[in-house]
Amino acid sequence: MSGEDAAGVRSFGARLAEVTAARGPLCVGVDPHPALLQAWGLPVDVSGLERFALTATEALAGSVAVLKPQSAFFEAYGAAGIAVLERVLTTTRQAGALVLLDVKRGDIGSTMAAYTAAYLADGAPLAADAITVSPYLGFGSLDPALAQARRTGRGVFVLARTSNPEGHTVQRARNSGGATIAQSIVDAAAECNAGAEPLGDVGVVVGATVEPGEVRLDTLNGPVLAPGFGAQGATAEDVRRVFGTGLRGLLPTSSRDVLRHGPAAEALRSAAERARDSLASILP
């Protein structure tokens, strides 16, 4: 299977492989947390949100492979915040970076189909290159998102083994076959990616702060979003410890550790460059 389907639509996996080869495999979050707005000397209102989000996007989208806006921080301001998010999506695409919209949606039936239409359909105001989704109503509940992403050349990142302590009870529990729930999610994603070249479109989220060996990723054939790098405590050596070296599609994520260097655009770019360079020895 090539990176383009019969209709000429380029797959997300192919586009991700291309942009990370050119710019390095790093994802930077655009998280307009109120504390960060205050640290930048901005008011915690829509005007501060707009200045923060667009400053960060304009500074980073021309050099970073993937930007990951956290939708909740925009939604908190209502319609005006969503309008800012739309501008972030457009600005990112125009500068050549991919947009991974962090929405963590997960529902069933027509509701999941509606989420899918909002984020993965061509022409939707909030359409992104990929979104995060939750499989904890059953992996099959994600079918509308998987199908739409396949049709439109977009991707999904499925929560598998997150680093928050609250996730341990569910994600480390074992199913009737003896596999952990986290591993079963990775295995289901791997089935979706079978035969894809150069990389499948169904990624998983595995925290860079989890214990090494908790999940096997060697058969995934898809991207791995690894949050926790930087301000959440994971170093480049921790990324190496958890994921080994040479894992295809690994996409470490840093948010606050880059954003705290703003609002100067050059300082933001330099921080992202340092983060990317620190990972060079462990990424293919």
Distance, CA of 284 to CA of 280 (rounded, Å):
8
Residue listed under structure tokens 């909740």: 72
Looking at residue 2, its amino acid is S
Contacts of 160 (CB under 8 A, 6+ apart): 135, 171, 182, 185, 186, 189, 204, 205, 206, 215
Among the options 39, 93, 95, 104, which is catalytic?
Answer: 104
Query: Which bin fits 129, alpha (ψ -120 to 50), beta or left (φ > 0)?
Result: alpha
Contact 101, 131 (CB under 8 A): yes
184-198 mean pLDDT: 97
Task: pLDDT band for 234, please (50, 70, 90 cuts).
Answer: confident
**Domain chopping of the chain, boundaries:** 12-278
* Closest by Cα among 47, 32, 19 to 251: 19
Identify whether 68 is a catalytic site residue: no
Task: pLDDT band for 5, please (50, 70, 90 cuts).
Answer: low
Show the DSSP H helices in the chain as ranges: 12-23, 34-39, 46-60, 71-75, 78-94, 109-120, 143-152, 168-171, 181-193, 236-243, 256-259, 265-278
Of the segments 146-160, 207-221, 246-260, 267-281, which one has the largest average pLDDT value?
146-160
Burial class (CB in 10 A: 0-12, 13-18, 19+), 275: buried
Mean pLDDT (the chain) is: 93
With 50 as the cut, is the pLDDT of residue 1 above it?
Answer: no
- Decide which of 3.40.50.970, 3.20.20.70, 3.10.290.10, 3.30.1490.20 is the CATH code for 12-278: 3.20.20.70
Residue listed under structure tokens 């529902």: 107
44-57 mean pLDDT: 98
58-79 mean pLDDT: 98
Query: pLDDT at position 164, please?
Result: 87
Contact 190, 218 (CB under 8 A): no
With 90 as the cut, is the pLDDT of residue 173 above it?
Answer: yes
With 60 as the cut, is the pLDDT of residue 97 above it?
Answer: yes
Whole-number Cα distances in Å, 86 to 31, 205, 219, 226, 255: 14, 24, 35, 25, 19
